[in-house]
Amino acid sequence: MPRFEPFRALRYRTTSDTDISSFSAPPYDVFDEATRQEYASANNRNIVLIDYPIESDGPSRYDIAARRLEEWKTENTICLDDDPSLSIYRMTFIDDIGTQRTTCGVIGALEVVDEGAPGVLPHERTTPKAKTDRLDLTRATTTNMSPVWGLSLAQGLTDSLLTAGHIVATCVDEQGVKHQIERVTDSERIAVITSIISAHPVLIADGHHRYAISRTYRDEQRTSGHLSNAELTMTYVAELVQEQLSVAAIHRLYSLSSQELIKALSPHYDIAPAGQVGNKTLQLMQEKNALCLVDKNGEGTFLIPRNETFDGIRDMDSARLEHALANTPHEVSYQHGVHQVINAVATSTVGCAVLIRPVSLAEIRRTADTGELMPPKSTFFTPKLRTGLVMRPLLH
C-alpha cells in the first residue's frame, strides 16, 4: 500500500487575513493564455506567472518561472513552513441541483509507484501528450506546483478530517466556490490520517499526466544520485464516497458531420428530436436515459442506447460511444460545459458534438476494484482544486 506523508509546504505568506484569492488560479490546463494574462495583470505575484510558462517567453520560459519562484521566496511572498504538515482542503459550493455542499480531502505527499504496481491505481486511459510542459517545469522549479487528485478506498478518512486545523489560506473562485486550507501539525493526528490512507489503494481521479511525470522525474533523480523528495508527489486525497464527489461529464467533439454521426450510431441508439440545446438539456438526458447530439445550429438529437447492442460494455456513455464508433474513422476531442460545447461546434471545424452523462460512483468504484480502465476523459471532478494554495519543494 502507498506511503502518504506530511511535508514542509511552500505557501503564500499571510498574517491575520488568509484570503489569497488574487494570488491563486485554476489548474493550468483549464484556461488559455488570454485568461492567464488577466490573472497576471490583476496581481503581479499571481501563481500563473510560475505555473503557466508561455511560449512567447521562448526556450527559457521554464528558467524564467524558476527564477520568479526564487525571487518570491527571497522577498517572503512565498514562505516555507517550519515543520512538516498535512493540509486539510475544504471546498464549499452550490452543486448542479442548487444544494450547498462542502467536500473535504487532505493534501500530503503520496508515494510514486511504478506503472502497474499496486497501491496507486489509474482510473482511465490517458491521451498522448506531445509536450513535456509539466516535466520541464518540474525540472526547472524542483517543486510540485499543484496536486494530483486521488480517491482513497479507505473508510473513515472523511471522519478523520472533520475537526478543523489551523486555517492558513482561503480563496473564493470565479464560480463562487470557497476553498479553505487548514494546516495540521499535531503528530498524533497526522499519524491517524496517514495510516488510514496508507492502508488502502489510492485511485488517481485527476492529474494522470502529472503523476506519470512525477514517475519520470523520480527516475531521473535516482539516476543522477541527487537527494530529493521525488519518491513522493503532492496529492490531494478524498474518500471515495458519494458525499465527497461531484462528478461532471466531459463531452465529445467529433470530426464527423451530424448526419454522418447519426448514421454511424443509429444501429446502436434510438433517435429522437431534442430541440434547441440549453440549460435544461442535461436534466432531460437523465430523464430520458439518453445522450444528446449537438449540430452546428445548436439543435439537439437524443440518442437512446439500445441495451441489446451493448452487451458486455461498461455502463458508461463514453464506453458505449467508443464501442459504437469502433469501425467508423473519426477524430474526437473533449470539452466540458454545455455552452462551451455549443460554442465549439458553432465556431470551429468540429462537425458536431455529443453530450454525455456523468460516470456513476458505482463505475468509479468498479474501476478501483477490477483495475479495468475507463476511456480517456470519462470524468470531470469538480470543483477544481485551486493552484497556489499549497506547493511542495522537491529538494531537501
Q: In the predicted model, is pLDDT for residue 129 greater than 70?
A: no
Q: Which three cell numbers stand for residue 98?
A: 442548487
Same structural domain, 210 and 298: no
Same structural domain, 126 and 197: yes
Percent of the chain exceeding pLDDT 90 equals 76
Same structural domain, 28 and 81: yes
Integer Cα distance of 200 and 109 in angstroms: 15
Per-residue pLDDT tens over the stretch 102-113: 999 999 999 999
Helix axes 317-324, 258-265, angle to 10 degrees: 90
Supply the DSSP string of 221-272, one letter for each residue.
HHHHT--BSTTEEEEEEEESSGGG--EE--EEEESS-HHHHHHHHTTTEEEE
Q: In the predicted model, is pLDDT for residue 395 greater than 60?
A: yes
The residue range of the domain holding 299 is 250-357
Same structural domain, 219 and 338: no
Q: In the predicted model, is pLDDT for residue 242 greater than 90?
A: no
Same structural domain, 234 and 329: no
Same structural domain, 387 and 302: no
Question: Is the residue at 372 inside a domain?
Answer: no
Decide: helix, strand or coil at residue 351.
Answer: coil
Same structural domain, 151 and 267: no
Q: What CATH number should be reported for the domain holding residue 318?
A: 3.30.1760
Per-residue pLDDT tens over the stretch 193-207: 999 999 999 999 888
Q: In the predicted model, is pLDDT for residue 151 greater than 90?
A: yes
Same structural domain, 234 and 300: no
Strands 120-121 and 202-206: parallel
Same structural domain, 339 and 387: no
Same structural domain, 128 and 76: yes
Same structural domain, 267 and 315: yes
pLDDT of residue 34: 92
Residue 102 DSSP class: E
Beta bridge partners, 93, equal 101
Same structural domain, 243 and 260: no
Question: Is the residue at 8 inside a domain?
Answer: yes
Total domain count for the chain? 2
Question: Is the residue at 161 inside a domain?
Answer: yes
Per-residue pLDDT tens over the stretch 274-325: 999 998 999 999 999 999 999 999 999 999 999 999 999 999 999 999 999 9
Decide: helix, strand or coil at residue 136.
Answer: helix
Question: Is the residue at 219 inside a domain?
Answer: yes
pLDDT of residue 128: 60
Average pLDDT rounded to a whole number, residues 120-127: 76
Average pLDDT rounded to a whole number, residues 11-34: 92
Question: Contacts from 83-86 at CB under 8 Å and sequence distance 24+?
Answer: 83/8, 83/185, 84/5, 84/6, 84/7, 84/8, 84/185, 84/190, 85/6, 85/7, 85/8, 85/9, 85/183, 85/184, 85/185, 85/190, 86/6, 86/165, 86/183, 86/184, 86/190, 86/193, 86/194
Integer Cα distance of 275 and 102 in angstroms: 35
pLDDT of residue 130: 46
Comparing 6-15, 123-132, 175-184, 223-232, which segment has the lowest mean pLDDT? 123-132
Beta bridge partners, 300, equal 275, 294
